[in-house]
Amino acid sequence: MRAAPGQVVAGRYRVTDRPEVGVAAQDLRTGGQVLLHALELPELLVPGRPGAEPDPEYGPRIALRVAQEVAGAPRHPRLLAGVEAVAEGESLWVAEERLPGARLSELAQDGPVPPYRVAELAADLAGALRALHEAGIPHGNVTAASVLVCEDGAALLGGLLLGVAEETLCSALGGPVPRRVYEARAVLLGPQAERWPPDGGPAADCWALGVLLHRLLTGYGPYPEDDLPTLLAAVRDGRRHPSDGCGPLRPLVERLLAVDPARRPDAAQVQRELRELLAGAPEPFGPESAAAAPLLPVRRPDGPVVPYRRGGGRRRAEGEPSKELTHRHRASLVPPALLGPLLLGGVLVALVAALAAVVLVAG
């Protein structure tokens, strides 16, 4: 379902804009800004009644299940808050807190991100995951599109409510048949490595974080994403692209991508290791960049910026003082403190000379 600017969704959210991810809207109840995502609800019939109308309570039941899954989510400075999931018509709408900033997926379009900047972002994300995991809630949607980079450079992890809604909807569509759940997830999620971990729970979030770090550091994912069967086979067998381009984060990325979840660090360990790495990070300007971009402030040379040269017939540039002004304002060779005594001495000498002349003439 497409929402146009000015449209009110679920009697509460007035659409204001269409950013790249989701739909921007204003919460008429609180006045805050939210980001809306629409998931299409299938027309499911009442079981056992082939000729019956679609179940009108299906959408509200899905929304209730989503709310129950995230009921214990903590408030954390690195977590975007989920507002609610509500069914309206043929869509399940998910509303999430919206703050000024840019999606990490937009910022990473220009190529690999410097490793220490990635470490800063990852430390924020690990802190958010740690808070969720300590509350007993896995995230399940750690992707570049779910991360908001604020104006101060901090990374906020969002997408919790949306990820839970997508997984809940796929489970409802598939029911007890795993093949149908797989088919529903294949259509809804596509071959995105972060959303297809080899296991579940908090360890799956850490694995997805490793995929995201590899993507940011190298410019591509660690697994082939041409199609879903190829991706799943590579994940299952641990066949991935080399992590040579991960720089100082390579050991951590490789441990996060371990097939065995027991070998992966948890969110608390990741956060601790990243803080230790950042504590020893080099300055932004190193010796190799000093020549191209010297550090400020730059020492200004002694003397005039454009030295005056005698002779040569050089044409005076626009705004340059003339020779007369140059000579007039040339610095004095006598210190200012001696000018008074010298002037007084000169006057006395002149008076004595005058008196001597008078005496000579009169004599």
Band of pLDDT at residue 41, cut at 50, 70 and 90: confident
Q: Mean pLDDT, the chain, as a whole number? A: 84
- The CATH code of the domain that includes 245 is 1.10.510.10
Residue 304 lies in a domain: no
Report pLDDT for 210: 98
Give the Cα separation of 310 and 73 in Å (integer). 79
Band of pLDDT at residue 262, cut at 50, 70 and 90: very high
Report pLDDT for 102: 94
Token pair, residue 355, equals 């008196």
Residue 3 lies in a domain: no
Report pLDDT for 324: 42
Give the Cα separation of 265 and 258 in Å (integer). 10
Band of pLDDT at residue 355, cut at 50, 70 and 90: confident
In the chain, the percentage of residues whose pLDDT exceeds 70 is: 77
Q: Which domain holds residue 205?
A: 8-44+55-280
Residue 335 lies in a domain: no
Report pLDDT for 87: 94
Helices (H), 49-107: 58-69, 104-107
**228-245 mean pLDDT:** 96
Report pLDDT for 55: 76
How many CA atoms lie within 13 Å of 155's alpha carbon, on the beta-carbon side? 24
User: What is the 8-class DSSP label of residue 79?
Assistant: B
Residue 120 lies in a domain: yes
Report pLDDT for 334: 56
Residue 308 lies in a domain: no
Give the Cα separation of 332 and 19 in Å (integer). 67
Residue 74 lies in a domain: yes
Q: Which of 27-36, 80-89, 273-282, 334-343 has the lowest mean pLDDT?
A: 334-343
Residue 174 lies in a domain: yes
Q: Which of 44-53, 254-263, 323-332 has the highest mean pLDDT?
A: 254-263
pLDDT in tens, 8-34: 989 999 998 755 568 999 999 999 999
Backbone angles phi, psi at 108, to 5 degrees: -90, 5
pLDDT in tens, 193-213: 999 999 999 999 999 999 999
Band of pLDDT at residue 155, cut at 50, 70 and 90: very high
pLDDT in tens, 73-95: 999 999 999 999 999 988 999 99
Report pLDDT for 51: 52
Report pLDDT for 302: 52
Report pLDDT for 325: 37
pLDDT in tens, 287-335: 444 444 443 444 444 544 444 444 444 444 444 444 443 444 444 555 6
Q: How many domains does the chain have?
A: 1
What would you report as the CA-atom Rg of the chain, rounded to the nearest whole angstrom? 36
Residue 344 lies in a domain: no
Report pLDDT for 123: 98
